[in-house]
Amino acid sequence: MKDIRQEKAADILAIKEVNDLAFGQENESKLIQEIRESKYFVPELSLVAVIDSEEVIGHILFSQITIETENGSIPSLALAPMAVKPEFQKHGIGSLLVNEGLMRCKAKGNGSVIVLGHPEFYPKFGFVRASGKGIKPPFEVPDEVFMLIELEKDALDHAEGTVKYPAAFLNV
């Protein structure tokens, strides 16, 4: 039985392990820790996938960002990172995490989510190229990997601008 729930303090080391194994490096787990210690952290939006034994097999994090426009800042969320232990990949765990995460983001009144991710994976959840709304990343990335989803209808209409990430993201 798989379950998705909010992270607990006891999960922190397991979350680090999941990310280190999934990405083959420590950059993402360092990012998570820096965000966790910042004002951009939303505890209710750091979710883990667990199996019967409460073993953490996946993790997803949504944190606060803004889109800087000519008319000011628009709040949004960044989906980063999302990881599943290698032996549990390709079993729908990532999809469960994304779906549950987006549902919780919307329930908390968030209008949009930005992701820098696989262009074959995220569109199935409704993500589209951010450039279509005139939203740019603050660094050079291929257009097809920088995506967004509007959780509220027209949440990003007239939101043309550049995403502003917390400093922790620039270290990854």
pLDDT at residue 170, as a whole number: 80
User: Residue 137's domain is classified under what CATH number?
Assistant: 3.40.630.30
Span 64-78, pLDDT tens digits: 999 999 999 999 999
Predicted local distance difference test score (pLDDT) of residue 3: 95
pLDDT, position 171: 74
* β-strand pairing of 72-84 with 56-69: antiparallel
Domain limits for position 73: 3-171
2 has pLDDT over 90: no
Cβ count near 129 (within 10 Å):
15
Rounded to an integer, the average pLDDT of 152-172 is: 91
pLDDT tens-digit map of 122-148: 999 999 999 999 999 999 999 999 999
Q: What are phi and psi of 61, to 5 degrees?
A: -130, 130
Query: What is the average per-residue pLDDT within 5-13?
Result: 97
Residue 20 has pLDDT above 80, yes or no: yes
Upstream peptide bond of 81 is cis (omega within 30 degrees of 0): yes
Mean pLDDT across the chain, nearest whole number?
Answer: 96
What's the domain count of the chain? 1
Give exposure, 86-124, as e/b (b: 16+ Cβ within 10 Å). eebeeeebbebbbebbbebbeeeebbbbbbbbeeeebee
Per-residue pLDDT tens over the stretch 83-132: 999 999 999 999 999 999 999 999 999 999 999 999 999 999 999 999 99
Kind plus residue range of the DSSP H or E element containing 102: helix 93-107
pTM here? 0.96
